[in-house]
Structure 1
């Protein structure tokens, strides 16, 4: 009887060992699971990653005949920080601090007052370029902007066109702020890794 059971036990153990080895091989090699697969970046035309620095001026115009920032949600009436305010933007991006400087793109998105204790904005915007080889490409920024700080840093979370898979950060410095109109000109330095 022991002679009959022993081969059966050995065969069962071999079968279990084979299944475990096969499963671990699938996990280790990254086999196709039906909805995801590994790709070689060269197949998508990606070459060596590079770091670029862009510098331009962002013009947020709230008043006049052609505002570039429009409130879509008013702030709470009992707040000193404009908490709850949401403005949609289509702000020009220029080479120099004057609005008449050469237009290189537009900042499109929104900002919202997201702090009850200070003037702190949630910035969600695409820098949509319209100049040179970057025409049609975008850099996407999403982050916190503590407006009263001299320098604010926000992350670059992606992009499109020449900025696919982009990452990096921006530094914003207020150049001019008109307290009466709320209009602002802000210098942006963008440091972005891209292919």
Structure 2
């Protein structure tokens, strides 16, 4: 049985290292590459403003806000805010006016989580505004942030979008138009969205 000489051994190791380096370089070039704005034909940045209402309905035949999880029962003193830890899933209509029968422009889909154990009633929201009308049909805007419902006017960030709103960023202002009504199981919120996009 013959043994490999040190020189031959180094040569084999060098060839293996070279092959591995080439494979990594090939993988990197096929997975990601640096691009310029011209590569994807970005146009002049513009600002779009939307004004609409969304309707939360938790009872009746047209429920659009479903409780997905409640806080676990505990033997300790409960949080001052009973909504802390509650998770709701939404698919609420967006309308031009405050009436549910107003022209619909899309829907707001996402998750709302009770995020504060005190009375300030703050929620973490991760939602997508899905537009279904006119030139915005099929485009979306994503909003993620903290909504302190006890404030008259709240601001949340717009962090992205799709379709017309690719590379979008901006903010949303929201206010309670009609507080939750226990008899009808509904509430209405007013939104102003400001989105920078190409």
Q: Given the two structures, how large is their TM-score scaled by the length of structure 2?
A: 0.78
Q: Which residue of the partner structure matches residue 163 of structure 2?
A: 161
Q: Tell me how far 1:76 sits from its aligned partner.
A: 5.0
Structure 2 residue 190 is matched with structure 1 residue 187: yes
Structure 2 residue 64 is matched with structure 1 residue 63: no
Q: Which residue of the partner structure matches residue 87 of structure 1?
A: 88
Instruction: Work out the CA distance in 2 between the residues paired with 1:112 and 1:165.
Output: 26
Instruction: State the secondary structure of the residue aligned to 2:126.
Output: strand
Instruction: Work out the CA distance in 2 between the residues paired with 1:101 and 1:190.
Output: 19
Instruction: State the secondary structure of the residue aligned to 2:164.
Output: helix
Q: State the superposition RMSD in angstroms.
A: 1.5
Stretches of structure 1 that go unaligned for 5 or more consecutive residues are 1-32
Deviation digits for residues 76-135 of structure 1, max 9, x if unmatched? 553342111100000000000110000000000010101101200001100000000100
Equivalent residue runs for 1:21-100 within 5 Å? 34=29, 35-75=31-71, 78-81=78-81, 82-100=83-101
Instruction: State the secondary structure of the residue aligned to 1:66.
Output: coil
Cα contact 1:125–1:142 (8 A) shared by 2: yes
Q: Given the two structures, how large is their TM-score scaled by the length of structure 1?
A: 0.79
- Consecutive aligned runs of 4 or more in structure 1 exceeding 4 Å deviation: none
Stretches of structure 2 that go unaligned for 5 or more consecutive residues are 1-27
Cα contact 1:76–1:83 (8 A) shared by 2: no
Q: Which residue of the partner structure matches residue 124 of structure 2?
A: 122
Cα contact 1:128–1:138 (8 A) shared by 2: yes
In the alignment of these two chains, the number of paired residues is: 163
